[in-house]
Amino acid sequence: MAQEGESSSSSLETTRQPEEPTPASPAHLGGTPAPAGSQSTPERSRKRSLSAGEEEEEEEAKKRDLGKEEEEEVVSSAPSSPLCEPCIAGDPEIYDRFRYPDVYRAFEAEEDKFQEALVRQTELPTLKIFGYSTCLSNDPNLLPIRELGTRAVLRAAKFLLRLSSFLDDKPLQSSSGFWIEWDQENKTGIVLTTAHLLRSKCPSMDHWLGKDQYVPHAKVIVHLLNDTTTEGHLLYHQEHYDLAFFRLRVDQPVQLPSFDCNIKCAQEVFMLGRDEFMKLRITSGRVEYLNPSLFHRYHYIYVHRTDCKDRHNKYDDGGPVIDLDGNVVGIINNTVKGSFMPTSILVKCLDLFRKHRCIPRLHLGLKFSAIELLDPAHVEWIWRKCHIDHGLIIKTVSSGSLAEKLGICRGDVLYRLDGKDISTTVELEKMLLDICLDCFGTEIYCNDKVNISIEVFDVRQVSGGLEH
C-alpha cells in the first residue's frame, strides 16, 4: 500500500510540471501543444507555425471588426454597462512619462475615452441629475393623494406642450398649451393656449378697458414631446377669454384630453406647465371661495396654491388645470396669479369656435360680485336687511348703457336671467355663451343684438323689490 501511495505521488508531480517550450515549439507560437511522446518533423512544425500565424491574423481581424462595431454602437446609442476605467498595473514607476512616454500616452488616450463614455452615460435620462422636485414629492401635505395625483399628472402630461412666440426674430412670449383636436387623415392637430402668447403690451391692470395689444402675425413655435419643434399657424385668438388656437402638422397620433365641467370650491387641483427645457412643472392647490375683482373678467376662478416654492409658476400660463382623475377642469390664465377659466366656460367657447370659427360675447354693461362667495356673516347681514341671499350684486353700471337707461343702479341684485336663477359670475358667463350658441345662425356680426330678460332686486325698496 505504501508503494502505491508513493507511485501516485510521483505521478501527480510529473503531471504538474509543464514542459519547457522551445523557441520553435507550437506552444510558443500560440498553437496547441503536441501530445506527450509524439515527435514533430520540421515539415509538420512549419505547417503548425503557419496555422498559428493565420489564427493570429484571424483573431486580429476579428478584433478590428469588433472594434468598428463597438464604435458604431457608441455613435448610434448610449454606451452599454459596465464601463471599465483604465489603469496601469505593476511598478509605480511606469507612470513616469519621461521614462515610458509611449505607455503613458496610450494610458492618457484610454483615460480620455473612458471619461467621454462616462459623460455620455450620465446624460441618460435614468442617470442624469434632474435638478428639482415638484410638490408631489416635496410637500408632505400631499402624501394622502400622492398616488392619485401622480397618475393624474402623468396622464395629463401626454397632451401638454410648450409654445414660444417671436416678433422680428426676437423672443416675444412663451406659454404652455394642450391638444384639443387631431385629424388622422390630414395628420394635423389643433393646440389651445392663452392669447398672452401673442400679447406685446399690457399697459393696464383693468382688463375691461381693452388696452392690451396683440400681434397675430407673430411667429409661433410649438415644442413637441419628442423634443422636436414645428411651426404653429394661428387659426383664431379671442382676447376677452384669452384663448388662441393653432394648427400644426404632426405625423404621429396625439393624446387628447378629457374634460370635466363639475369644478367645485375647495376641490383639490393641479396646475401644469412646461419650462424652457420641456420639464413638467406641477403646482397644487384648492379652488377658492372668491369673487373676481372689478379689474378681472367674470369667468375667473382662483386657486389657493399650497406649494410655496412654485406659488408664482410662470410656466403654466395656458396650461391645463386637472383634477385627481387627470381630467381637464380649466385652462390657466396667469393674468392673475392662480386664476383659471373653468371647463364649463371653455367647452362653450370650443363649441362656438368649431361652429363659427369665432367666439362672440354679449355685453351687459354691468360688473358683479356673487353673494354666495361673500363671508357667511356678510351674507346673513344682507339677508336680514334685504331678504335676499343669492344673486349677483351690481358693482358698476356703464354710463350710457341700456342697463342705466332702465334704472338699474349700483347695489341692486341681479338674480335671474331668462327665467333661470343665477348664483355666480361663472354661471352668468355660461348662460351668455349658451344664448350665443342658440341665437346665432351661420354668420355672426360684431354689433348683433340679442333680446334677453333679467330680473333685478332693488335694494332701495326695502319693503320688497322692483323688477326691471
Show Cβ contacts of residue 399 under 8 Å, excluding neighbours closer than 6 positions: none
pLDDT under 70 in the chain at which residues? 1-81, 89-98, 307-312, 335-337, 441-446, 462-468
Q: What superfamily would CATH give domain 366-457? A: PDZ domain (2.30.42.10)
Nearest to 432 by CA among 445, 446, 413, 418: 418
| Amino acid type, 21 | P
**CB under 8 Å, gap of 24 or more: what pairs does 18-21 form?**
none
Which pairs with CB-CB distance under 8 Å and at least 24 residues apart come from 51-59? 52/26, 53/29, 55/30, 55/31, 56/30
CA dihedral 411, 415, 417, 422 (to 10 degrees): 120
CATH number of 140-359: 2.40.10.120
Query: In this structure, which amino acid lies at residue 206?
Result: D
DSSP 198: G
Q: Using CB atoms within 10 A of its CB, is residue 114 exposed (0-12), middle (13-18) or buried (19+)?
A: middle
Residue 203 pLDDT: 83
Does residue 82 have a cis peptide bond before it, meaning omega lies within 30 degrees of 0?
A: yes
pLDDT tens per residue, range 275-300: 999 999 999 999 999 999 888 888 99
Instruction: Check if the beta carbon of residue 218 is closer than 8 Å to that of residue 175.
Output: no
Q: Give the 3-state secondary structure of residue 291.
A: coil
CB of 107 within 8 A of CB of 97? no
Q: Where in the sequence of the chain do the CATH 2.40.10.120 domains occur?
A: 140-359
The pLDDT, as a whole number, for residue 336 is 67
| Beta bridge mates, 454 | 417
Segments in 277-358 forming alpha helices (H): 343-356
Q: Which residues contact 434 (CB under 8 A, 6 or more apart)?
A: 348
Q: What cell numbers appear for 433 in the block?
A: 355663451
Q: What CA–CA distances, in Å, run from 322 to 155, 203, 290, 309, 426?
A: 10, 31, 19, 20, 18
* Alpha carbons 465 and 468: distance in angstroms, whole number: 10
Return d(Cα 83, Cα 142) in angstroms, integer.
40
Q: Are 56 and 30 in contact (CB under 8 A)?
A: yes
- The answer to whether 258 touches 360, Cβ cutoff 8 Å, is no
Helix axes 343-356, 425-439, angle to 10 degrees: 20
The predicted pLDDT at position 36 comes to 44
> DSSP alpha helices (H): ranges in 296-405?
343-356, 376-386, 402-405
Half-sphere exposure of 24 (CA within 13 A, CB side): 8
Decide if 241 contacts 283 (C-beta within 8 A).
no
Single out the residue of 271, 168, 159, 272 nearest to residue 222, CA to CA: 159
d(CA 256, CA 182): 8
Q: Which residue has the cell 383634477?
A: 323
Is 391 in contact with 422 (CB distance < 8 Å)? yes
Show the CA angle centred on residue 417, arms to residues 413 and 421, nearest 5°. Answer: 75
Q: What is the pTM of this model?
A: 0.76
pLDDT at 444: 67
What end-to-end distance do the CA atoms of the chain give, in Å? 130
Note whether 165 and 234 are within 8 A (CB): no
d(CA 205, CA 183): 39
Which regions of the chain carry the CATH code 2.30.42.10?
A: 366-457
The per-residue pLDDT for range 213-243, each reduced to its tens digit, is 999 999 999 999 999 999 999 999 999 999 9
- 333: Cβ–Cβ under 8 A, 6 or more apart, which residues? 194, 196, 242, 300, 317, 339, 340, 341
